Amino acid sequence: MKVTVKDGSLPMSDKEIAEYVSYVKSKSPIVDSIELMAVGDTVDIYYHIPEVRFDRVRRITGYLVGTVDRWNDAKRAELGDRVKHDI
């Protein structure tokens, strides 16, 4: 993980930086970079969480599916005939 401390009005000790990093990791263990900036009596914390890839699974016409690319023409037609309700 990359930790960047930007020059602010207050210098930060290594122990203080470690505490901020520990705090951010407790909120999200998959953080890949943290930026700290001490200004006045506050410390701004910026962090980046990498994009998490996932497959969407939906219930369509009684089947749990991720994609419909392997469906036959009849099943695709059934999907096209569905009435979609908006909330």
pLDDT in tens, 30-82: 899 999 988 878 889 999 988 888 777 777 767 777 777 888 888 888 888 88
Contact 23, 3 (CB under 8 A): no
pLDDT value, residue 61? 66
**Helix, strand or coil for residue 5?**
strand
Q: Are residues 41 and 67 in the same domain?
A: no
pLDDT value, residue 38? 84
pLDDT value, residue 9? 66
Q: Are residues 15 and 31 in the same domain?
A: yes
Q: Are residues 64 and 39 in the same domain?
A: no
| Structural domain harbouring 19 | 2-48
Q: What is the mean pLDDT of residues 12-27?
A: 90
Please report which residue ranges of 1-87 form alpha helices under DSSP H.
14-27, 73-81
Tell me, yes or no, if the pTM score tops 0.75: no
Q: Are residues 37 and 9 in the same domain?
A: yes
